[in-house]
Amino acid sequence: MEYQRAWIRLRWLLLCLAVQLVVADAEFFKPFNVSYDHRALIIDGKRRMLISAGIHYPRATPEMWPDLIAKSKEGGADVIESYTFWNGHEPVRGQYNFEGRYDIVKFIRLVGSNGLYLFLRIGPYACAEWNFGGFPVWLRDIPGIEFRTDNPPFKEEMQRFVKKIVDLMQEEKLFSWQGGPIIMLQIENEYGNIEGTFGQKGKDYVKWAAKMALGLGAGVPWVMCRQTDAPYDIIDACNAYYCDGYKPNSYNKPTIWTENWDGWYTSWGGRLPHRPVEDLAFAVARFFQRGGSFQNYYMFFGGTNFGRTSGGPFYITSYDYDAPIDEYGLLSEPKWGHLKDLHAAIRLCEPALVAADSPQYIKLGPKQEAHVYRESMHAGNLNFSIYRSESSCSAFLANIDEHRSASVTFLGQKYTLPPWSVSILPDCKSVVFNTAKVGAQTSIKIVESSLPFSSDVSLNQQFSTENNGFHVTKSWMTIKEPIGVWSENNFTIEGILEHLNVTKDYSDYLWYITRIYVSDDDILFWEENNISPAVKIDSMRDVLRVFVNGQLQGSVIGHWVNVFQPVHFVRGYNDLVLLSQTVGLQNYGALLEKDGGGFRGQIKLTGFRNGDIDLSKFLWTYQVGLKGEFLKVYAVEENEKSEWTDFTPGADPSIFTWYKTYFDVPAGTDPVTLDLGSMGKGQAWVNGHHIGRYWTLVAPKDGCQKVCNYRGAYNSDKCAFNCGKPTQIWYHVPRSWLNDSDNLLVIFEETGGNPLDISIKLRATGIICAQVSESHYPPLHKWSLTRGSFDGRLSVNDLTPEMHLYCQDGYMISSIEFASYGTPMGGCQEFSIGKCHATNSSTVVSETFTRYNIAVTIGKEIKACLGRNNCSVKISNLVFGDPCRGIVKTLAVEARYIAFAVENLVPHLFVVRYGKVPHLIPHVLEKIDGAE
């Protein structure tokens, strides 16, 4: 175990050193200009077909950024895209924050150091399911301001921030003409959706925003997405699930897709969205097929809404977005792998795509079509002679039928096209990729205690437990949060004030406190008529909790909904407390500055003998936030100053209560997750870092499909899953926020959840599966292009399909749970042997080393999967034999993998490839050198 930890620390130090050395150099490229024509962006004088990966830097930690960027590049990205986040960078007017998760300069330097370009969407309105759409709340307090229209106060503030960002990028030499990675900027964001609200002032605002942006001298192209009236020098771009039919508003502008929604966001109590990779790949291939040139995945990595950054109302803390890289930074397979293959196929076509000004269209059937790209191509010039030409030629064959496969003839050859798919032919004759044929592996994420170096021990024991180096303290302590007024920092005024005008969004919570007198006549009236008084509010958002004399009367959840909450009063004076809570500020739509929070309309007490009581005429005392927030009981430096008491297992969990405990970090490098499934609603902090809001609202039991059909147009309700379960119970705790021991966990619980069942676990991929048939295509890396056509030097063996299995770094395949070459049935974790099965399937895949005396080899390329980080197996009768002649056979494999560790080094199992393993560990070298 100590060797494992030592190696992890050494690798991390070397990585950090390498990153620092690279990032220290300001110039990542030789300076180059970026322009565009009707076909594409022109990078350093050359047209480019570009794949962009969306990563929002504040939704990860700086320590995660290098790995996320590297995985995006490995997945085929040329560009990284991100918004800027005004409210994160300027939380107080005139006071800027460019540190920690908001160190945008560091993020962009890391992108450049990886040889990738950057597309920066300044906005500054972001939407992004981010709190208040990225606007700072102080903006709404500027006198006379109206957001996103021809309004001088707003334009002045917007220009000041946009100029701040552009000037910062130029000062840091991050634009392409300075040798930096930034190739494109965005002004505004999806304004076309709301422009009509403002009439002529909206149209004038668009022209002003364009002129303002161009006047900043950034020296790279600007875009506006969803803005069909974007002025001449601004590229208008598409945001949607499909953009293959999109055309910019001028022939002189390229077709750009700024947001390809590869998933969707999630609300508390909602189902989890899933977009099948077959459909996503279909959408991307169709976009490039029909003339697109720049495509950005929204998101390639979604990440986490740490703190109170989640927009709303009611968007969850996770922003996983069903992206190719999940919230924790792990690859989501097969999405990442299948898209990687797609990107490689598009890259093979790039010489032809950039050479042709437009594609040649050929109708192949009622719902089948081809688009052909060829250098200097003219209409009617396409014939068989292209095979004798040395010009570049690439083709896309599409079948947009949702139900049936189609057999088509293209340039004299027959091709079978699965339904709702695109085949890519980089040389106009050889299919290298089809969007519906997934050969990439599937990964199954696990958070179980069986993971190496992990513990599934709940924090509910009365003593300390040590399990594989994971030490957790089991004592919990507690503090009650007072209901109502808790400090001198309150004020009293007549009437109901708007929530955000009081809180300025420094807290989710605003207490409204008043006193109600109840007479004997009122009590008698209620008893005689068998009725109860009630609080009636015309409209409220997001959560209302009603207390009388310190007792909770009821809660209401909704977005501008009516309230009728019965209450119980006693004779005499009663303290009525209304707690208004926000759960993410509105992030989308017009007139955001007017949305606000709390209550609207009339607020009354009904059911009294003398009629309804208008509470808006009462004196109300206002208290912002929680006492625990004010005292910072979640902070490492401050929490001991509060009067915590022991919380014993026999105690009943209660509402509005703070809890704290300590835990030791699990060993290894796998992402850490906090299981809050036993809690109700609240917020959580680790070592003072706010990991987000939590809420265990349960998704509806219906609306999920047992079988997800990728065919046909996608929407956010299609292929949803997780019905009948809490929307989110796992919460990411970044490892960079953790110490080796004594990590402070603080929970604020509103509804009475049980902290004793909270647990700390690790998240990793534990199972991988794949299915590849003889009809699949050979690996993309086997293909090469010479002057636009394949070089013809590929052997028959090179053209054989392969199954490629791989683990994340530091892991190896530990067992083959299933392997069958023939006609296997079922899917991952449900495979079964079909009528046709090669009995040697498992042996071939795992290579049990019966031919070897020892399983440890150095510098030898062998076909074993067992004990290796990755492996490839050819799908061929020459490898497995032919168990059933005349049938197209498939290889299906399910494997488990575990973390590499010295104690896992067992003879006849462990395989080491020189240069790929921690061979600096003396003990490992001793094992290898001593092998017989």
| Residue 723 near residue 699, CB atoms below 8 Å | yes
The whole-angstrom separation of Cα 363 and Cα 375 is 21
Cis peptide before 158 (omega within 30 of 0): no
542 forms beta bridges with 558
From 129, 146, 259, 629, active-site residue: 259
Angle CA 813–815–820, to nearest 5: 105
From 190, 350, 629, 802, active-site residue: 190
Q: Where are the beta strands (DSSP E) in 664-788?
A: 672-675, 681-686, 689-695, 730-733, 743-749, 759-762, 764-773, 785-786
| H runs (alpha helix) in 24-64 | none
Q: Say how far residue 51 (Cα) sits from the centre of its chain.
A: 17
**DSSP character for 131?**
G
**Closest among 658, 716, 724, 717 to 697, alpha carbons compared:** 724
| Residue 853 near residue 932, CB atoms below 8 Å | yes
| H runs (alpha helix) in 250-304 | 277-289
Contacts of 805 (CB under 8 A, 6+ apart): 441, 768, 770, 813, 865, 870, 871, 872, 873, 893, 895
Contacts of 94 (CB under 8 A, 6+ apart): none
| H runs (alpha helix) in 410-567 | 499-503, 520-529
Burial class (CB in 10 A: 0-12, 13-18, 19+), 110: buried
The verdict on whether 259 is a catalytic residue reads yes
**DSSP character for 379?**
T
The whole-angstrom separation of Cα 624 and Cα 509 is 6
Q: Say how far residue 184 (Cα) sits from the centre of its chain.
A: 22
| Residue 218 near residue 169, CB atoms below 8 Å | yes
The verdict on whether 369 is a catalytic residue reads no
Contacts of 428 (CB under 8 A, 6+ apart): 372, 374, 386, 387, 393, 394, 395, 411
Query: β-strand 598-606 against 534-548: which pairing, if any?
Result: antiparallel
Q: What are phi and psi of 887, to 5 degrees?
A: -120, 135
Helical pair 104-113 and 152-171, crossing angle rounded to 10 deg: 40
- Per-position b or e across 353-379, b if 16+ CB within 10 A of its CB: bbbbeebbebebeebbbbbbbbbebee
621 forms beta bridges with 492, 513
Burial class (CB in 10 A: 0-12, 13-18, 19+), 333: buried
Q: Say how far residue 437 (Cα) sits from the centre of its chain.
A: 25
Q: What share of the chain is helix, strand, coil (3-state, %, to 5)?
A: 20, 30, 45
**DSSP character for 482?**
P
Angle CA 893–895–897, to nearest 5: 160
| Whole-number Cα distances in Å, 85 to 88, 165, 613 | 5, 11, 44
Count Cβ atoms below 10 Å from residue 335 Cβ, excluding itself. Answer: 30
| Whole-number Cα distances in Å, 584 to 126, 318, 581 | 15, 13, 9
| Residue 802 near residue 772, CB atoms below 8 Å | yes
Q: Report, as residue numbers or ranges, the catalytic residues.
A: 190, 259
